[in-house]
Amino acid sequence: MNYHYRTDISWWVFGVTCGGALLITLITVSFQSIKAATANPVKSLRSE
């Protein structure tokens, strides 16, 4: 209150940030799940 310059942060900034983080998380998890589901298990077992 006593600062010379003050910036107010709106509620939508937090909403956009949380939404973006959730979107990135869902895209990453979906990509990894699809990649694991479509992988050929025989190739992975041969290399081990």
pLDDT score, position 1: 67
5 CB neighbour count, 10 Å cutoff: 4
**21-27-33 Cα angle (round to 5):** 130
pLDDT score, position 16: 97
Q: Which residues, given as ranges, of the chain have pLDDT below 70? A: 1, 48
* Tokens 């990135």 -> residue: 24
Task: Name the residue type at position 37.
Answer: A
Q: How far apart are CA 27 and CA 20, in angstroms?
A: 11
Length of the chain: 48
